Structure 1
């Protein structure tokens, strides 16, 4: 499995002003924002967002992803590794020679789930993946395109973690440690990783 993001978050989507306010940094008509500081704050936010997303499997700000699979985990229901899924844009089957076949949208559908959405067939099975080939699922994931669409606890967790990065830039003595307050905020969003498709979901139930 290979998961790729199409493009990095645009700087304009990052809540730099909110982080400045959280840190109580100077602003206003008589204090011009420092370009280097703004860049640094944006960097801390990107790092915090990436960390929260990795810990929870939830994408905060909507963007496009490509998932490549050498074969389906389960041809009756393929789990998608991220949530929430806004929509599946395309499913492409690639043969061993690199020929791409776009699967008709009517042959599959998205089964939404807060933790483990599924791509399911509109029939018995998902399309066959030829030997030596692969399938690519192109989809959009995220709570929304603006910061106010993100659940409050996840948004606060990002600000807390970004502030921690800013205030303790070396992380001496606590490298890789997640602050307790951040862990508490994201706990309900963390999901159990499943590897067995629909069969695993049945066992979970």
Structure 2
């Protein structure tokens, strides 16, 4: 299974000012632009970490998901939540040839942690040996930071602050999750996702 984030959240939509306030950083200095770029990197890393640990897409955006076989012929759990819309369903052959299916043939069974894709009237399309089903979907909780679930928003700020404060500590190179973050995300930790790049 491969899940690709098709585009990144625009920098203007990231909570840079909230993060500065969380860190008690000043503003209005000549180097603010450079500092903002650094803080943006920590925020993106924290968002990715929280999404990966919870299976929750925080910002609404498009994803492309590729799978070589369905979990069952009639339904398939989706790799993240909440899924708002399925844009495309294609069966892609080893030579790259894509066979498209009408998205109206599929429905999303909503669930806060594990939404499911089903065929409206029968089985999901057969995936031949060596081929993949490629599903493009629109998923996420919020268009703006203020609409991100409060517990996940706080977890992001705590994780980003942890990365910022220990940025020079090589002993943390393998990564760790602060206890406060673990407590905030515990109720979401039913599924996992892996976002392997953006196109």
TM-score, normalization by structure 1: 0.87
Per-residue CA distance 1:20-76 (angstroms, 9 max, x = gap)? 111111125xx4562211111101101110111111111111111111112212111
**2:133 match:** 135
- The alpha-carbon deviation at position 106 of structure 1 amounts to 2.6
1:185 equivalent in alignment to 2:188 = no
**1:15 match:** 15
**1:46 match:** 44
Alpha-carbon separation, structure 2, partners of 1:125 and 1:39: 47
1:27–1:33 Cα contact (<8 Å) kept: no
- The alpha-carbon deviation at position 108 of structure 1 amounts to 1.2
1:93-112 maps to which residues of 2 (within 5 A)? 93-112=91-110
Q: Report the CA distance shift for 1:179/1:171 in structure 2 as closer, same or farther (over 3 A).
A: farther
Alpha-carbon separation, structure 2, partners of 1:158 and 1:106: 36
- The alpha-carbon deviation at position 192 of structure 1 amounts to 4.6
- The alpha-carbon deviation at position 97 of structure 1 amounts to 3.8
1:86-165 maps to which residues of 2 (within 5 A)? 86-165=84-163
1:163-182 maps to which residues of 2 (within 5 A)? 163-175=161-173, 176-182=175-181
- The alpha-carbon deviation at position 172 of structure 1 amounts to 4.4
1:107–1:122 Cα contact (<8 Å) kept: yes
Alpha-carbon separation, structure 2, partners of 1:143 and 1:55: 15
SS at match of 1:143: coil
1:55-74 maps to which residues of 2 (within 5 A)? 55-74=53-72
- The alpha-carbon deviation at position 119 of structure 1 amounts to 0.6
Unaligned runs of 5+ in 1: 194-205
2:166–2:172 Cα contact (<8 Å) kept: no
Higher relative contact order, chain-length normalized (CA < 8 Å, sep 6+) = 2
1:107–1:126 Cα contact (<8 Å) kept: no
Alpha-carbon separation, structure 2, partners of 1:140 and 1:106: 15
Alpha-carbon separation, structure 1, partners of 2:103 and 2:131: 20
SS at match of 1:140: strand
Unaligned runs of 5+ in 2: 193-199
What do you get for the CA RMSD once the two structures are aligned? 1.6
